[in-house]
A and B are shown apart, each in its own frame.
Chain A
């Protein structure tokens, strides 16, 4: 039972990591109607900048700030040069252009920083673990990630429902022509939103990078998962991204742990581990297909 609860926390934690990534992606889609396959590249930029700067300064916090800033800056730059030409284009063109951006970012990073993975660890104050009731232990840094995820969720809620910028974002989501008529500088709003989305991805990359391998292409597996999350939640909906992320995190974690145990009842240990983990790999995609089969616009569709 303790194990089950611990795995549930692990699922929540994976969910918050995914939310950090998915929130930016869904924000960009909600406001600009843009499919951004290159979102994983901002994740990578955030992790690289954090790794390089914290190695140089010896401070994870300075590195983190640098990571978020770098991702936001790169995001703004990409929006100004490439993305703004794509808003009126069909999704197909957006997919191709951002696919090209993935190639450019991945290979460009490799050119600049080499093929070897970089070193990036959580700050010493946050390493180690604390005791959970029931005799188990949980890493502090993972609890910090959960906290950051909750802060981002709350922050975005306040931003969107309580601020002027949020009002414009909401206006943009419901009617893109209207906000232009209201005298809002759409071009600037779009750049801002895109940079914000990139900064969120950069934050995710920097935080999770301390638990992961910081290397070229690190954004791709998480990008696909983030897409699953926002599609399940309903594209454009921050709330949907939150619920979708937690659902995917929990289902994926529990599936990985308990499917092999389940199959062990009918077969040998090796076979069960193989079959169970094969099925676990497909589980979230099965979940997504099931949800879309019944709710073709996801759980919390924001708009079309």
Chain B
């Protein structure tokens, strides 16, 4: 552990000698995590415990949102305290689209008429596009700042979206917007909890694969270099700003897609999805799992939702214990759950 006295955002890592057994252990843990997440709800479904299937969907989607955030925080070194904006916006895209499809009114009547839709495919595409555009605007301004300023300006933008949603009456304001019937996919019954879980699980796998693919590409190498040593990147003739901006936008798109699915899972979207507590929770999950670890968000989400569910059943003061656990993780398990399960990772 190299101690740094500056307030650098780069996670501190050392270079362990990669051995075969170390790789095996990491691979086993990753496969293990996915297997647990896939098999537990399958078993629950066939034993008739639908509740656990929905709980697994919740874990999956929160993990997916955190995978998006991890791309910004862990790989890009951009500590966004405002990813709830994309999570919530994705949710609102699903909610608003379904609302207009139900009412048979257009979402936008002018300059071009965009009808509502209850097709998940259309909603996903819209969520990705809308969140990407918002992130492009926010990122373009925010990425001019660094460090704490970046943390706070992303928070400020998210608060703007939050207050807007809270006081805009058309889509329910603070009351939120219900989705009466889960949006549909061709040839599949999305109402079925297991089917819906498998859709979410597919989304998580895709986002993991995408992140992995990005980080193995030249673009990923440039992003890593922008985080670790901006000057060296500049000497190679690559400007860090556009690299970061693209990564930020992709990160928001993943989180936004997770938000659209989350709204469908709950049958409901409300400004709570946009609040700074939500941003904080997503950050907590990323850190809990291990910053910049591909499967970290998954481990973090499993642990977080389990704590929330178990502690909440035990005591009304459960948040106190949640706080103590989180504090313990930051102080004593510096590399998160993945660091503990699978050993440290070189950059």
**A and B touch in their complex, CB below 8 angstroms:** yes
- Chain A residues engaging chain B, CB cutoff 8 angstroms: 29, 33, 35, 82, 85-86, 88-93, 95-97, 99-104, 106-108, 110-111, 176-177, 224, 227-228, 231, 235, 274, 277-278, 281-282, 285-286, 288-289, 292-293, 296-298, 304
Select which of A101, A108, A297 is within 8 A of B149 by beta carbon.
Answer: A297
Task: Indicate if the CB atoms of B153 and A100 lie closer than 8 Å.
Answer: no
* Leading 4 A-B pairs by shortest Cβ distance: A103-B323, A278-B167, A107-B320, A100-B326
Query: Can you name 12 A-B residue pairings with CB atoms under 8 Å?
Result: A29-B148, A35-B151, A91-B9, A97-B326, A100-B330, A101-B323, A103-B322, A224-B159, A231-B152, A282-B163, A293-B144, A298-B149
Select which of B8, B142, B168, B287 is within 8 A of A96 by beta carbon.
Answer: B287
**At the interface, is chain A mostly helix, strand, loop or mixed?**
helix
Number of A-B contacts (CB under 8 A): 141
Residues of B within 8 A of A231 (CB): 148-149, 152-153, 156
Task: Indicate if the CB atoms of B155 and A227 lie closer than 8 Å.
Answer: yes
Task: Indicate if the CB atoms of B152 and A228 lie closer than 8 Å.
Answer: yes
Residues of B within 8 A of A281 (CB): 163, 166-167
* Minimum CB distance partner of B280 in chain A: A99
- Give B113-159 interface residues, CB cut-off 8 Å to A: 141-142, 144-149, 151-153, 155-157, 159
Given the known interface contacts A93-B330, A289-B157, the answer about A176 and B5 at a Cβ–Cβ threshold of 8 Å is yes
> Is B273 an interface position by the 8 A CB rule?
no
- Give B319-343 interface residues, CB cut-off 8 Å to A: 319-320, 322-324, 326-327, 329-331, 334
Task: Indicate if the CB atoms of A97 and B153 lie closer than 8 Å.
Answer: no
Task: Indicate if the CB atoms of B324 and A235 lie closer than 8 Å.
Answer: no
Residues of B within 8 A of A110 (CB): 317
Task: Indicate if the CB atoms of B152 and A297 lie closer than 8 Å.
Answer: no
Task: Indicate if the CB atoms of A95 and B153 lie closer than 8 Å.
Answer: no
Task: Indicate if the CB atoms of A91 and B79 lie closer than 8 Å.
Answer: yes
Residues of B within 8 A of A277 (CB): 167
Task: Indicate if the CB atoms of B149 and A92 lie closer than 8 Å.
Answer: no
Task: Indicate if the CB atoms of B73 and A235 lie closer than 8 Å.
Answer: no
Task: Indicate if the CB atoms of A92 and B145 lie closer than 8 Å.
Answer: no
Task: Indicate if the CB atoms of A92 and B156 lie closer than 8 Å.
Answer: no
Task: Indicate if the CB atoms of B167 and A274 lie closer than 8 Å.
Answer: yes
> Is B172 an interface position by the 8 A CB rule?
no
> Is B21 an interface position by the 8 A CB rule?
no
> Is B276 an interface position by the 8 A CB rule?
yes
Select which of A100, A106, A228, A297 is within 8 A of B327 by beta carbon.
Answer: A100
* Minimum CB distance partner of A33 in chain B: B7
Task: Indicate if the CB atoms of A292 and B12 lie closer than 8 Å.
Answer: no
How many angstroms between the C-alpha atoms of A5 and B3 in the bound complex?
Answer: 53
> Is B51 an interface position by the 8 A CB rule?
no
Residues of A within 8 A of B317 (CB): 107, 110-111
Residues of A within 8 A of B149 (CB): 231, 235, 292, 296-298
Apart from A90-B10, A289-B160, 10 more pairs, CB < 8 Å: A29-B148, A82-B327, A90-B9, A93-B334, A96-B326, A100-B326, A100-B327, A103-B326, A107-B319, A110-B317
Residues of A within 8 A of B10 (CB): 90
Task: Indicate if the CB atoms of A278 and B145 lie closer than 8 Å.
Answer: no
How many angstroms between the C-alpha atoms of A282 and B287 in the bound complex?
Answer: 30
Residues of B within 8 A of A177 (CB): 5
**At the interface, is chain B mostly helix, strand, loop or mixed?**
helix
* Minimum CB distance partner of A104 in chain B: B323
| Residue among A85, A99, A289 having the largest count of chain B Cβ atoms under 10 Å | A99
> Is B284 an interface position by the 8 A CB rule?
yes
Task: Indicate if the CB atoms of B331 and A97 lie closer than 8 Å.
Answer: yes
Task: Indicate if the CB atoms of A96 and B323 lie closer than 8 Å.
Answer: no
Residues of A within 8 A of B167 (CB): 274, 277-278, 281
How many angstroms between the C-alpha atoms of A35 and B291 in the bound complex?
Answer: 18
How many angstroms between the C-alpha atoms of A29 and B151 in the bound complex?
Answer: 14
How many angstroms between the C-alpha atoms of A59 and B163 in the bound complex?
Answer: 40
**In the complex, how many angstroms separate the beta carbon of B171 from the nearest chain A beta carbon?**
13
Task: Indicate if the CB atoms of A288 and B156 lie closer than 8 Å.
Answer: yes
> Is B283 an interface position by the 8 A CB rule?
yes
Residues of B within 8 A of A224 (CB): 155, 159, 276
How many angstroms between the C-alpha atoms of A289 and B327 in the bound complex?
Answer: 31
How many angstroms between the C-alpha atoms of A273 and B167 in the bound complex?
Answer: 11
**In the complex, how many angstroms separate the beta carbon of B319 from the nearest chain A beta carbon?**
5
> Is B197 an interface position by the 8 A CB rule?
no
**In the complex, how many angstroms separate the beta carbon of A279 from the nearest chain B beta carbon?**
9
> Is B164 an interface position by the 8 A CB rule?
yes
Select which of B4, B160, B276 is within 8 A of A88 by beta carbon.
Answer: B4
Residues of A within 8 A of B166 (CB): 281
Residues of B within 8 A of A288 (CB): 152-153, 156
Task: Indicate if the CB atoms of B291 and A92 lie closer than 8 Å.
Answer: yes
**In the complex, how many angstroms separate the beta carbon of A174 from the nearest chain B beta carbon?**
14
Select which of A29, A103, A278, A289 is within 8 A of B141 by beta carbon.
Answer: A289
Contact code string B155-183 (vs A, CB < 8 Å = 1, else 0): 11101100110111100000000000000
Task: Indicate if the CB atoms of A93 and B148 lie closer than 8 Å.
Answer: no
Given the known interface contacts A104-B323, A176-B5, the answer about A92 and B73 at a Cβ–Cβ threshold of 8 Å is yes
Given the known interface contacts A103-B323, A104-B323, A235-B149, the answer about A97 and B156 at a Cβ–Cβ threshold of 8 Å is no
| Residue among B73, B148, B163, B320 having the largest count of chain A Cβ atoms under 10 Å | B148
* Minimum CB distance partner of A223 in chain B: B276
> Is B203 an interface position by the 8 A CB rule?
no
**In the complex, how many angstroms separate the beta carbon of B303 from the nearest chain A beta carbon?**
14
**In the complex, how many angstroms separate the beta carbon of A88 from the nearest chain B beta carbon?**
5
Residues of B within 8 A of A82 (CB): 327, 331
- Give B291-335 interface residues, CB cut-off 8 Å to A: 291, 317, 319-320, 322-324, 326-327, 329-331, 334
Residues of B within 8 A of A304 (CB): 147
How many angstroms between the C-alpha atoms of A136 and B182 in the bound complex?
Answer: 57
